[in-house]
Structure 1
Amino acid sequence: MPSIFISGAAQGIGRAVAERFLAEGWTVGAYDIAPVTYTADGTPRTLITGHLDVTSAGDWDAALKDFTSHTGGTLDVLDNNAGIIMDGPLRDADGAGVAKLIEVNCTGVTLGARAAHPYLRRTAGAQLVNMASASAIYGQPQIAVYSATKFYVAGLTEALSLEWRRDDIRVLDIWPLWAKTPLADVTASSTRRLGVRLTPEQVAETVWQALHPRNRWARGRVHHGVSTLDKVLYLGRSLAPDRLARLLTRVIAG
């Protein structure tokens, strides 16, 4: 069976991705700093769970070693899903909270990619998928640090998509708007003006489709939107001059 390792899989989008791939018969590794309490229903579904602090290189090495002991040492997909958020004006932000947010969302994703590379390299057609965000289309006020970390994820994804080509590892990311998870429980104006409409299952379905491209053109895509709105916003930003993009973001985010 093909295998996928998911960080931040205890709840929300991570759990939805785990359940989507379990339904397709994959061997799923659901790891998190919080306990993973759900189980796989029926056979031949295989769910491996474990502890993972994504900010620890040692934890990444141990978790991937544990999971791949069930897969013959190979890994088809790493889903760098784990992430946290904080909101409010940057001037009022707790310094330790800012550092932790950057550590989880940036360092965690980077350490995950680094640790997974040896396993992905030995698996034909392996893929790395990172969880970015529509907040990386243009920097978002009130969630400025979170938004900036997603720019980092997008940049890392683009760089690795080129760096890992010789190893036959496809690298991509997912850019959803607000989804109905604890991550959306913030006071950012965009949650009110755009709404929190996506479900974790919709994002999980986009992950599934992105990892199973229909043709060569689809396989070449690096950034993947989820809803029609975030796709339109992404396209608009790519075509609009900075002044117009800034104005549109002011209207949306306030």
Structure 2
Amino acid sequence: MGRLRGKSAIITGAASGMGAEEARVFAAEGARVTIADVDDGAGERLAKEIGARFHHLDVTDAAGWEALVTSAENAYGTVDVLVNNAGIVVWGGVTDLTEVDLRRVLDVNTIGVFLGMRAVAPAMERAGGGSIINIGSTSGLVGGPKALGYSASKWAVRGMTKAAALDLAPKNIRVNAVHPGLIRTPMSGAAADRTSGTPPLGRIGTPAEVAAVVVHLASDDSGYTTGADHVVDGGRTAGWT
């Protein structure tokens, strides 16, 4: 415990699912956490539960990002960690996904990640460095049926992570991606229904198993790691057995 003591962390989409578990584990590891989400009720309840701050954020709103970073910096002095966790999925393939839905998925999952990295970089530079963790997906490593928009958005997150890692390395800001497979969350229920069989490890993963990897990347233990993909999928992308 205490691996994140003294660090100020912003976690988006943290009112539920993987983000909420990340917020709990970060707080337990000593981080000063800012929970950012559009769900005010759930976000405020979790913040009270773990001793964190809540800030309303629509990740597609650039001005909202600037206000969030200013608020966190004013409250805690620095912004040391950003977890770009917020994301949505709209099911549909080449012929049945609408342009409106594709743009909505890209706005949240891709533009939202870009805006977050852009907003926190100056604050992290002022702090002497930092760690950005972008939550991708195994859908950004391999294709999937009826997931064209989601796959496109997560492949983009993977590419942006590597490009940003190169841009920000001189400022001592590390940027890494975590790619969960099937994880037991409300959003993953439909994905599990569409997938036959189980990963090689024989089960669906848990939010705690993703959070453990995110904590490592946020901590000084990963100080020489940037621009990397970290897959948490029970062996799924290694190939079906």
Band the TM-score falls in, shorter-chain normalisation: 0.7 to 0.9
Q: Percent identity?
A: 32
Name the amino acid aligned to 1:18.
Answer: A
8 A Cα contact 1:6 1:79, kept in partner: yes
Give 1:134 shift: 0.9
8 A Cα contact 1:172 1:221, kept in partner: yes
Give per-residue Cα distances to partners, 1:155-207, cap 9 Å, x unaligned. 00000111111111011010110111122132577533336711111111111
Root-mean-square deviation over aligned CA pairs:
2.2
Give 1:144 shift: 1.4
User: Hey, what does 1:210 align to over in structure 2?
Assistant: 217
8 A Cα contact 2:92 2:149, kept in partner: no
- Alignment partners' CA distance in 2, 1:54 and 1:206: 23
Q: Can you give the 5+ residue segments of structure 1 that lack an aligned partner in the other structure? A: 237-247
TM-score by length of 2: 0.87
1:224 aligns with 2:230: yes
User: Hey, what does 1:130 align to over in structure 2?
Assistant: 134
Q: Can you give the 5+ residue segments of structure 2 that lack an aligned partner in the other structure? A: 1-5
User: Hey, what does 2:172 align to over in structure 1?
Assistant: 168
Structure 1 range deviating more: 160-169 or 83-92 = 83-92
Structure 1 range deviating more: 192-201 or 113-122 = 192-201
Name the amino acid aligned to 2:88.
Answer: I
TM-score by length of 1: 0.83
Give 1:107 shift: 0.6
User: Hey, what does 2:80 align to over in structure 1?
Assistant: 76
8 A Cα contact 1:125 1:169, kept in partner: yes
What is the number of residues matched between the two proteins?
A: 230
1:198 aligns with 2:205: yes
**Change in 2 beyond 3 A, CA 1:123/1:191:** farther
Q: Which runs of 4+ in 1 moved over 6 A?
A: none
Name the amino acid aligned to 2:46.
Answer: Y
8 A Cα contact 2:175 2:227, kept in partner: no
Structure 1 range deviating more: 81-90 or 172-181 = 81-90
User: Hey, what does 2:47 align to over in structure 1?
Assistant: 39
**Change in 2 beyond 3 A, CA 1:165/1:187:** closer
- Alignment partners' CA distance in 1, 2:115 and 2:158: 15
Match of 1:100 among 100, 104, 127: 104
User: Hey, what does 2:124 align to over in structure 1?
Assistant: 120
